[in-house]
Amino acid sequence: MSSGSVQTLPLQLFLREDFPQLLQTLKQLGYQTLGPVLSQGAIQWKAITTPEDFPIDWKDQQEPGSYRLEPDPSPRYFNIVHGPESLKPLTFAPRETLLVLDHQNNTFSAKDIQPDTTPTAILGVRACDLAGLGIQDQIFLHGTYPDPYYQQRRENLFLIAVNCTRAHATCFCASMETGPKAQQGFDLSLTEADEDFLIEAGSVKGLKVLDQLTSSIASEERIKEDEERIGACAASQTRSLPKANLPAALYEAHDHPRWDHVAARCLSCTNCTMVCPTCFCHGVEETPSLDFQQSEHTRVWDSCFTPDHGYIHGKNFRPTTKDRYRMWLTHKLAAWIDQFGTSGCVGCGRCIAWCPVGIDLTEEVQALSQPPL
């Protein structure tokens, strides 16, 4: 049983034909429901109102620098593992106005802009994304100054995890010990088969929803069968990160010639940091009106790969791509451990698939862990 479980019922079997009950129950409880929806050649979190909104008959193929959807005759709703978006844009908004400043009589007033706080249920959250959310919670909620914008969105989420039974060439959650089974942080979790789902509650909120559904006690054989499918998914993963060697391996590699090798390929385009479920860098923009009577104070996603990120007082102290890639990888996989007590990587593989030139951080870490040739 998973560590985050508040299960008081044995694992339940929930039939595919009863799935609309889940959508109805969530609706009755006042949740808007988001799930994986085909969009622009991938999947994105969009409104789900009926089971037909799911990307049935499709699966994704992910390779370094490549993401493709292809037809797949399957009745499953969660056949596509994931798209470019983790949960990050739903809690840490890519662009949001925090304050509007008004200039009045020699001074100014600031008006807080509150985020939309509609309770939102998300169907199809993967174990790696839950792990990523846990890391972002630590950054935005558990420090000295909790972020109210993040907090309001976060508290309104109802998370329905789906355990992975299919891994991509880019996946390495097993080596990061974050998946393929959702371990904690979900309200409900599902393991999908063609005819039915195993369903489990991970919170009191989840249990209330589960109580509304028509389900039956799952057989021992069925539970074992699903554990085996999840285990096979973990075993099928070909990439891994040597967790035991980190952080030391990267600190010791500071002057390794491999950094020049990867810098010759890296575009400094920021895509890896944008799709990363844990990258949290942001900038603040001030947009005044032409008459300077009003200004919008806006927070935007930023990246350690931009020229502005390392620019301080007339000088960019990370001018080259090599400086930036080394900064990113060393922070993500090494300094993060010292800073937050966990790795900054959850093994989702998005930075590999969505890198326009297919740079693979697991390959880079492996090369950096070897003595220079």
Partner 1 sequence: MSESNKSPIRKRPRVAVVKFASCDGCQLSILNLEDDLLALGAAIDIAYFPEASSDMQAGPYDIAFVEGSITCPEDLPRVLELRQQTTTLITIGACATSGGIQALRNWSDIEAFKRAVYPNPEYIQSLSTSTPISEHVTVDYELWGCPIDKQQLLGVLTDLLQGVKPHIPRHSVCLDCKRQGHVCVLVAKGLPCLGPVTRTGCGAICPSMGRDCYGCFGPAEHDSARPPGVPPNTASLAQQFHQHLQLIPVEMVRRFRGINGSVQPFQEESHAWESK
How many chain residues are in contact with partner 1, going by CB under 8 A?
Answer: 55
How, if at all, do strands 157-162 and 188-192 pair?
parallel
Instruction: Give 247 or 358: the residue with its C-beta nearer to partner 1.
Output: 358
Binding range to partner 1, per CB under 8 A, among 22-30, 38-46, 167-175, 220-228: 38-46
The rounded distance, in Å, linking the Cα atoms of 328 and 338 is 15
Question: Quick check: 223 and 198 in contact, CB under 8 A?
Answer: yes
Q: How many CA atoms lie within 13 A of 366 on its CB side?
A: 8
Q: Which two tokens stand for residue 173?
A: 């959650």
**Where are the alpha helices (H) located in the chain, listed in sequence order?**
19-28, 88-91, 127-140, 148-155, 173-176, 204-212, 220-235, 248-252, 258-265, 271-275, 321-330, 336-340, 350-353, 361-369
Instruction: Give 146 or 283: the residue with its C-beta nearer to partner 1.
Output: 283
Contacting residue, 306, 330, 343, 369, with partner 1 by CB under 8 A = 306
Q: What is the DSSP string of 229-249?
A: HHHHHHHT------GGGTTHH
129 binds partner 1 (CB under 8 A): no
Contacting residue, 12, 91, 203, 271, with partner 1 by CB under 8 A = 271
The rounded distance, in Å, linking the Cα atoms of 159 and 253 is 39
Contacting residue, 7, 25, 66, 184, with partner 1 by CB under 8 A = 66
Instruction: Give 146 or 356: the residue with its C-beta nearer to partner 1.
Output: 356
Contacting residue, 205, 261, 297, 322, with partner 1 by CB under 8 A = 322
Residue labelled with tokens 């010759």: 264
CB of 270 to partner 1, least distance (A): 4
Instruction: Give 165 or 295: the residue with its C-beta nearer to partner 1.
Output: 295
15 binds partner 1 (CB under 8 A): no
Report which residue type is found at 163.
N
Binding range to partner 1, per CB under 8 A, among 15-23, 74-82, 138-146, 263-271: 263-271
36 binds partner 1 (CB under 8 A): no
Residue labelled with tokens 């539970």: 223
The rounded distance, in Å, linking the Cα atoms of 132 and 323 is 25
Instruction: Give 185 or 277: the residue with its C-beta nearer to partner 1.
Output: 277
Instruction: Give 130 or 304: the residue with its C-beta nearer to partner 1.
Output: 304
The rounded distance, in Å, linking the Cα atoms of 150 and 156 is 10
Binding range to partner 1, per CB under 8 A, among 28-36, 51-59, 146-154, 260-268: 260-268
Contacting residue, 321, 330, 343, 362, with partner 1 by CB under 8 A = 321
251 binds partner 1 (CB under 8 A): no
Q: Using CB under 8 A, which residues numbered 81 to 110 contact partner 1?
A: 83-85, 89, 94-95, 103, 105-108
Report which residue type is found at 351.
C
294 binds partner 1 (CB under 8 A): no
The rounded distance, in Å, linking the Cα atoms of 266 and 252 is 22
Contacting residue, 230, 249, 266, 345, with partner 1 by CB under 8 A = 266
Question: Quick check: 192 and 76 in contact, CB under 8 A?
Answer: yes
Instruction: Give 59 or 243: the residue with its C-beta nearer to partner 1.
Output: 59
CA 321 from centroid of its chain's CA atoms:
25
Q: What are phi and psi of 282, to 5 degrees?
A: -145, 155
How, if at all, do strands 120-125 and 107-112 pair?
unpaired
Contacting residue, 3, 8, 40, 144, with partner 1 by CB under 8 A = 40
37 binds partner 1 (CB under 8 A): no
| Residues at the site binding partner 1, with contacts judged by CB under 8 A | 39-42, 44, 65-68, 83-85, 89, 94-95, 103, 105-108, 263-271, 274-275, 287-292, 300-303, 305-308, 319-322, 353-358
